[in-house]
Amino acid sequence: MPQLLDFPNEILEAIFAHVTSRVDETLELRAVCGILLTIYLSLLGLSVSDADPLGRFNATAIQRLLHETHKDPDYFIGHHTVDFLMSQNLINDGERERYLKALLVAAGWVIDFPKIVKSVLRKSDAASKPSAFGESSLRNCALVAAAYQDEVSFMTLLISRDANVDARTRYFGNPHRIAVMSGSAAAVGLLLGERARLPNIGKDGQSLLHVAAGRGHAAVVQRLLSGDRLRADDRDCEGKTPLLLAAAGGYLAVVKLLIERDDVIANSKDREGWSPLAHAVDRGHIAVVKFLMARADVDINSTCNNGDTPLILAVKTGCIEMVTCLLGRRDLSVNCVGSSCVPDVSVAAQLHNEEIVEPLLRPQGVNATCQGIRGTTPLTWIAQSGMTRIVKGFLDGHYGDCDIKRSGAYKALCMAAKVGNLDVMKLLVDWGVLVEERNHVGRTALSFAAEEGRLEAVKLLISKDGVDMNRRSRDGRTPLCFAAERGHAEVVKVLAKQDKVDLTASDYHMHRTPEMHALLKGHEAVAELIWNGIHARMQSTASEIANCDEAILSPQ
């Protein structure tokens, strides 16, 4: 086994001298130097956990390096993780790039990496025995580093000295993938010109074209597409094509390169059913969206697996420019029901975005009665969001014909009562919405207002003719039951004073009265209010009976 003593002393001393002269540097510098040392150890075939015959671990070199800076040696823990990841081939592109950056930064700070490599190459030419430094490994590692830096002349030198363009270095992978990741078009061109074997698709299922497109390297994409060695519409493990990745990243130049090809599908979808347009809209890449919108072969109404369309995604982002852009297509459908089971307009209303709601209502063909989950319509959500001006325009017919029943106006009244929006409630009641209408579970606007403690809304509703103050829900609860259960004392006071309100009405399941509902939830003061109301009515009734008896018994 090679020992720590085999490690080139001049490199160790250079590292130590450099680090000790920068005692105030950040953890990043210590990490860089630690990684550099670990890499050189691996090139020698050593592991940080290997020990020499005296029991000295190579790890002590890293510990010494960190202790020389009078810093905390916590970073050392990461080297065991690095060693494990590499041995199991679990490293991913992102981590690999970070390690490569660390090597190059350290090389610039500590030693002249290309100079060291050239020196070793010259020595290996003169000597017949292999260098202890690991000649072939160093060449291959240097080739990857040069590819990352787009040092084509240095790459040419290494290749002429038998560096293996198909080699996979332990830490940094294949030079092709690194060159593509870093956007080194010249390096990619050189490697492709060598007719090297293209690396296999990674564990994520991504080819070199995926990597280049996902990082927006248009020049590299063009180089890769110039040959016939890669398929432009391949899918990775998530079903994404290079076009999907480019659109998601907002890389317009790459999108243009790919979508113009005959073998690329403009509406390709990933496993979640997302198209390139959907990805671009969701990420807010307006330039890509405008470009895709201008193409007739792009389906603007394409739905994801959960039912969302590009328009619904745009509404969710809250970007008025994006919504306006999509509304420019005549074949756009504005009545789709998305993942939240409500139409586009309703989604905007739920997000309280009035700037987006109005443009969505204006396009010709909008269906104001389009229903979502539980029969809710756009008017329902607009009313709940308190958009008084739009509700008035809705009722005045500015957004098309509006029928009381089909528009879900009575549900809109319930929602407005629930949030206590008096202006919207007055508009709906004056328009002709009946206050005693019930929703799908038998609840009225009064029961919602009472449950949420909306005192002014309760007063408004009970003042209207024809209101049934004891209208029961499906489970038999009255508005007073809902208010008592929530502990809304002021609402209970107002309702209890109404002669038409039944203070002892019990529900259907457990036969609980409003007083019992209040006690079960710990609202003793509310229960007392109800009891006082019952007691007052009993006394009033007794007094009336006594007066009647007295009138009957009194002589004429």
- pLDDT-based confidence at 20, cuts 50/70/90? very low
Q: Is residue 339 part of a domain?
A: yes
- 344 and 414 share a domain? yes
CA dihedral over 64, 68, 74, 78, signed as positive or negative: negative
CATH code for position 527:
1.25.40.20
**Residue 405 sits in which domain range?**
334-423
First-to-final CA distance of the chain: 129
Closest CA to 67 of 8, 19, 13: 19
Runs of H (alpha helix) within 294-387: 310-317, 320-327, 344-350, 354-361, 378-384
Please say whether the beta carbons of 65 and 37 come within 8 A.
Answer: yes
- pLDDT-based confidence at 124, cuts 50/70/90? very low
- 391 and 449 share a domain? no
- pLDDT tens digit sequence for 274-301: 999 999 999 999 999 999 999 989 998 8
Mean pLDDT value of segment 265-269: 91
520 dihedral zone (left: phi>0; alpha: psi -120 to 50; beta): alpha
- Rounded CA Rg of the chain: 37
Give the C-alpha distances (Å, rounded to integers) separating 98 from 28, 94, 199, 357.
11, 6, 20, 45
pLDDT at 97: 56
Give the C-alpha distances (Å, rounded to integers) separating 11 from 57, 58, 380.
18, 15, 73
CA dihedral over 502, 507, 508, 511, signed as positive or negative: negative
Q: Is residue 36 part of a domain?
A: no
Helical pair 489-496 and 524-553, crossing angle rounded to 10 deg: 10
pLDDT at 110: 36
- 306 and 377 share a domain? no
Q: Is residue 161 part of a domain?
A: no
- 338 and 323 share a domain? no
Q: Please enumerate in sequence order all residues whose Cβ is within 8 A of that of 285, keeping only pairs 6 or more positions apart, or say none.
A: 247, 249, 250, 252
* pLDDT at residue 138 tops 90: no
- pLDDT-based confidence at 366, cuts 50/70/90? low
Mean pLDDT value of segment 378-407: 71
Q: Which one of 423, 456, 471 terminates a domain?
A: 423
pLDDT at 31: 44
- 474 and 506 share a domain? yes
Please say whether the beta carbons of 12 and 60 come within 8 A.
Answer: no
β-strand partners of 343: 337
Give me the half-sphere count of Cα atoms (radius 13 Å) on the Cβ side of residue 178.
Answer: 30
Q: Which residue has the higher pLDDT, 321 or 242?
A: 242
Give me the half-sphere count of Cα atoms (radius 13 Å) on the Cβ side of residue 64.
Answer: 13
- pLDDT tens digit sequence for 163-200: 788 777 655 567 888 888 888 888 888 888 766 566 65
- 367 and 346 share a domain? yes
CA 428 – CA 346 distance, rounded (Å): 18
pLDDT at 8: 45
pLDDT at 461: 92
- pLDDT-based confidence at 72, cuts 50/70/90? very low
Helix, coil or strand: residue 51: strand
pLDDT at 367: 58
CA dihedral over 21, 22, 27, 28, signed as positive or negative: negative
Please say whether the beta carbons of 267 and 303 come within 8 A.
Answer: no
- 513 and 539 share a domain? yes
Q: What is the number of other CB atoms lying within 10 angstroms of the CB of residue 122?
A: 11
* pLDDT at residue 136 tops 80: no
Cα dihedral 16/17/21/26 (nearest 10)? -30
Q: Is residue 418 part of a domain?
A: yes
Mean pLDDT value of segment 363-391: 68
CA 478 – CA 513 distance, rounded (Å): 9
Q: Is residue 78 part of a domain?
A: no
Residue 59, token pair as written in the block: 């790890």
- 304 and 418 share a domain? no
* pLDDT at residue 252 tops 60: yes
- pLDDT-based confidence at 271, cuts 50/70/90? very high
DSSP 273-303: ---HHHHHHHHT-HHHHHHHHT-TTS-TT--
CA 128 – CA 478 distance, rounded (Å): 99
Please say whether the beta carbons of 455 and 486 come within 8 A.
Answer: no
pLDDT at 105: 44
pLDDT at 375: 61
Q: Please enumerate in sequence order all residues whose Cβ is within 8 A of that of 471, keeping only pairs 6 or more positions apart, or say none.
A: 436, 438, 442, 444, 446, 447, 478, 479
* pLDDT at residue 139 tops 90: no
Q: Please enumerate in sequence order all residues whose Cβ is within 8 A of that of 295, keeping only pairs 6 or more positions apart, or say none.
A: 259, 266
Please say whether the beta carbons of 11 and 40 come within 8 A.
Answer: yes
Mean pLDDT value of segment 300-314: 85
Which DSSP category does 514 fall into? H
Q: Which one of 311, 328, 345 terminates a domain?
A: 328
- pLDDT-based confidence at 257, cuts 50/70/90? very high
Most trustworthy range by pLDDT among 68-82, 84-98, 105-119, 493-507: 493-507
Q: Which residue has the higher pLDDT, 405 or 234?
A: 234
Count of structural domains within the chain: 3
- 352 and 387 share a domain? yes
**% of the chain residues with pLDDT over 70:** 59
Mean pLDDT value of segment 513-536: 90
Please say whether the beta carbons of 364 and 395 come within 8 A.
Answer: no
SS3 content of the chain, % helix, strand, coil (to 5): 55, 0, 40
In one-letter notation, the amino acid at residue 120 is V
Q: Which one of 398, 423, 448 terminates a domain?
A: 423
Give me the half-sphere count of Cα atoms (radius 13 Å) on the Cβ side of residue 73.
Answer: 12
* pLDDT at residue 3 tops 60: no
Length of the chain: 556
Residue 245, token pair as written in the block: 């990745």
Closest CA to 135 of 46, 196, 48, 44: 44
Mean pLDDT value of segment 486-495: 94
- 357 and 315 share a domain? no
Q: Is residue 292 part of a domain?
A: yes
Cα dihedral 305/310/316/322 (nearest 10)? 170
Mean pLDDT value of segment 320-333: 81
* Continuous segment of H or E residues that includes residue 137: helix 135-148
Most trustworthy range by pLDDT among 229-238, 325-334, 384-393: 229-238
Give the C-alpha distances (Å, rounded to integers) separating 342 from 163, 345, 369, 395.
61, 8, 11, 20
pLDDT at 203: 67
pLDDT at 483: 94
pLDDT at 381: 75
- 236 and 318 share a domain? yes
Residue 2, token pair as written in the block: 């090679």
Residue 236, token pair as written in the block: 């990775």
pLDDT at 6: 37
Closest CA to 176 of 167, 268, 435: 167
- pLDDT tens digit sequence for 417-426: 998 989 989 9
**% of the chain residues with pLDDT over 90:** 22
Q: Full-prediction pTM beyond 0.75?
A: no
Q: Which residue has the higher pLDDT, 317 or 494?
A: 494
Closest CA to 11 of 45, 41, 50: 41
Provide the strand spans (E) within 397-526. Answer: none
Mean pLDDT across the chain: 72
Q: Is residue 321 part of a domain?
A: yes
- pLDDT tens digit sequence for 45-71: 444 444 444 444 444 444 444 444 434
Distance of CA 116 to the CA centre of its chain: 46
Query: Residue with structure tokens 């005045």?
Result: 396
* pLDDT at residue 127 tops 80: no
Helix, coil or strand: residue 348: helix
- pLDDT-based confidence at 458, cuts 50/70/90? very high
Q: Is residue 238 part of a domain?
A: yes
- 415 and 528 share a domain? no
Please say whether the beta carbons of 295 and 264 come within 8 A.
Answer: no
